[in-house]
Amino acid sequence: MPELMIQVENLTKVYGSTRAVDDVTFNVRKGEVLGFLGPNGAGKSTTMKVLTCYLAPTGGRAQVAGFDVFDNSLEVRKHLGYLPEDTPLYKDMTVLEYLQFAAAMRGMASDRSEKRIKEIGGRCGLHEVAGKLVGELSRGYRQRVGLAQAMLDDPDILILDEPTSGLDPNQIVEIRQLIKEVGKEKTVILSTHILPEVQATCSRILIISSGKLVADGTPDELRAREKASRYRLVVEANGTTAEAVKARLASIKGVSRCDTVLGEERAHAFSLDAAGDEDLRKILFRAAVDNKWTLLELQREAASLETVFRNLTTGEESKS
C-alpha cells in the first residue's frame, strides 16, 4: 500500500469565536490526487494554510511527509510546493527572473535549476513569455507562473488552491492533464469550485462544510450515496399534446414531479422525480404501452456530483 504522505488528526483552527476548521481528520497517500471541496468560508484554504505552515493549528495535529507542521515546519516546506488562491508574484521581475529567484530561495544548484526551469516552463506553457514582466501577463499566465514555481523543486507533495482560476478552456484542459500526470508519482491536494474539474482530475474527494468534514470517497462512491430518483423520458405521442402526456405521467403513483424539457423534433421529453426509492422504469414503460406512445428514450439518471455536493453542504436537493 502506498505510504502516507499527509496525516491530519482532529485538526482545529479557531479565529476568535469562529471555528474555521473543526476537528477534521483525514490521510492522503502517495499517488493520490485529492479534490478538496466546500462552499466559500467552509475552511478549505485555512486547512491548506495549516498544512503548508502558513498558519499554526489551534488544536489537533498534522504531519506532512512525516514531519509535524508545528515542530518541523522547515522540513515540511522542503517537501511540498504550494500555489495559494491569490498567487503572490513579484510583478517587476520577468518570468525567467522570478523562476530563477524561486529556485535560489529553495537552494537549488544553478545547473539543476536551469534545467528544471526549462522543463517546467515548457510543461506550463511559459516559454513564449519568459522575457516578459510578470506584471504585464494576463491572469491566466500569472497562474501558470505560480504553478511553475510550486513544481520547480520537484516536491513530493503539491497543494494547489484554485489552480485553474483565470485560465481559458484550452489551458484548463492542459493543466488538468498536467496535474493527473504529476499525481501518478506524487501527492496532490487540489481545491476548486469547478465540480467537472474534480471529476476529471481527482481520484478521491473530501467535502468540508462549516469547518467539518462531511464526505470522503472516490467520485463514484460519493455519487452512489445518493439514491437515483430522476428519470428522463422521451416519447412520440401520436398527436397527444405535451401537456396531456405530462399530466398522465404526473398522475402515476410514485412520481413526485414531472417537468417538460427540451426534446427531439416531434417528440416530447420529460424529467421526472420519484417520491421514493422504487425503480420506476417498468411502470413508465407500461404507461407508454398503455397510452400507445412510441418510447424513444427511458433513462434512470445517476446522481451528479453537484447533487451530492449541494445535499451535503446545504441539505437541499438540487433543482437543476
Judge whether 283 lies within some domain. yes
pLDDT digits (tens, 9 = 90+) for 8-21: 999 999 999 999 99
Say if residue 19 is in the same domain as residue 144.
Answer: yes
Number of domain units in the chain: 2
Q: Name the one residue in this structure whose C-alpha cell is 522540513.
A: 75
Q: Note the pLDDT of residue 294.
A: 96
Q: Note the pLDDT of residue 52.
A: 95
Say if residue 21 is in the same domain as residue 166.
Answer: yes
Say if residue 159 is in the same domain as residue 18.
Answer: yes
Judge whether 210 lies within some domain. yes
More confident residue, 229 or 271: 271
The widest CA-to-CA distance across the chain, in whole angstroms, is 78
Answer yes or no: are the C-beta atoms of 222 and 263 closer than 8 Å. no
Say if residue 138 is in the same domain as residue 272.
Answer: no
Judge whether 192 lies within some domain. yes
Say if residue 170 is in the same domain as residue 249.
Answer: no
Query: Which of the listed residues 224, 259, 280 is the one where a domain comes to its end?
Result: 224
Say if residue 249 is in the same domain as residue 220.
Answer: no
Judge whether 317 lies within some domain. no
pLDDT digits (tens, 9 = 90+) for 191-206: 987 888 888 889 999 9
More confident residue, 224 or 154: 154
Spatial separation of the C-alpha atoms in residues 184 and 124, rounded to whole Å: 18
Judge whether 170 lies within some domain. yes
Q: Residue 231: helix, strand or coil by DSSP?
A: strand
- Residue 213, domain extent: 4-224
The strand pair at 157-161 and 187-191 is best described as parallel
Q: Note the pLDDT of residue 65.
A: 95
CATH number reported for the structural domain that contains residue 291 in this entry: 3.30.70.3100
Say if residue 138 is in the same domain as residue 58.
Answer: yes
Judge whether 315 lies within some domain. no
Say if residue 257 is in the same domain as residue 218.
Answer: no
Least confident of 83-87, 230-234, 237-241: 83-87
Say if residue 273 is in the same domain as residue 167.
Answer: no
**Would you say residue 175 has pLDDT above 90?**
no
Judge whether 91 lies within some domain. yes
Say if residue 24 is in the same domain as residue 171.
Answer: yes
Query: Which of the listed residues 162, 189, 224 is the one where a domain comes to its end?
Result: 224
Give the single-character DSSP code of 106: T
Per-residue pLDDT averaged across 115-125, rounded?
93
Q: What percent of the chain has pLDDT above 70?
A: 96
Q: Note the pLDDT of residue 227.
A: 64
Say if residue 272 is in the same domain as residue 135.
Answer: no
pTM above 0.95, yes or no: no
Judge whether 319 lies within some domain. no
CATH number reported for the structural domain that contains residue 10 in this entry: 3.40.50.300
Say if residue 190 is in the same domain as residue 68.
Answer: yes
**Closest to 64 in 3D by CA, of 11, 128, 115, 21:** 11
Average pLDDT for the chain:
90
**Closest to 177 in 3D by CA, of 191, 166, 163:** 163
Spatial separation of the C-alpha atoms in residues 193 and 244, rounded to whole Å: 40
Answer yes or no: are the C-beta atoms of 150 and 175 closer than 8 Å. no
Predicted confidence band of residue 320 (pLDDT cuts 50, 70, 90): very low
Dihedral pair phi/psi, residue 17, rounded to 5°: -95, 5
Task: List, in sequence order, every beta strand (DSSP E) within the chain.
Answer: 4-15, 18-29, 33-37, 59-64, 67-68, 80-83, 157-161, 187-191, 204-209, 212-217, 230-236, 255-261, 268-274, 294-301
